[in-house]
Amino acid sequence: MDKKSPTLIERTKSYLKERKKWIQADKPLRTQSKVNDIFIKYCQPCQYYNGSSCNICGCFINTRMVVNKLVWATTQCPGTPPKWTEEVKELTKKIVDKRGNKITPSSPTQGRRRCCG
């Protein structure tokens, strides 16, 4: 069963969501060998692969560019169930202040400077 390719807006949202996860995890990359294995074993024969991108999420899929989701180790196949999964699941960076206290994205002081320490 073929699926209609996502719109440009849907593709952009999907890309930005995956990119955010990848950046939060310190940009981990799969090895070229792993990328080739995933592409040959899962993507090329997939009914949703249209020769350049995935018709489920709209992401470009190939073995050469860093801007495709196969290279980013934080991504997984968008199919249900996924044919391949992320290799890096820890997506939160530990950010600490000068005192060693962990700062989380929901922390009210993150991004602000304290004047009196």
Give the global pTM.
0.68
Residue 99 lies in a domain: no
pLDDT of residue 83: 93
Residue 47 lies in a domain: yes
**Average pLDDT, integer, range 74-100:** 75
Residue 103 lies in a domain: no
Residue 18 lies in a domain: yes
Residue 95 lies in a domain: no
Four-point Cα dihedral 106, 90, 15, 73, nearest 10: 160
Q: Is the pLDDT of residue 116 over 60?
A: no
Q: Is the pLDDT of residue 44 over 50?
A: yes
Residue 108 lies in a domain: no
The two tokens of residue 55 are 């018709």
Residue that wins the pLDDT comparison between 45 and 2: 45
The residue segments making up the domain with residue 63 are: 1-90
Residue 112 lies in a domain: no
Residue 100 lies in a domain: no
Residue 89 is given by DSSP the state -
Average pLDDT, the chain: 79
CA–CA dist 24, 73 (Å, integer): 12
Core vs surface per residue 18-50: b (16+ CB within 10 A) or e: bbeebeebeeeebeeeebeebbeebbeebebbe
Count of domains observed in the chain:
1
Q: Element (H or E) spanning 18, and its range?
A: helix 8-24
Weakest mean pLDDT among 35-39, 51-55, 95-99? 95-99
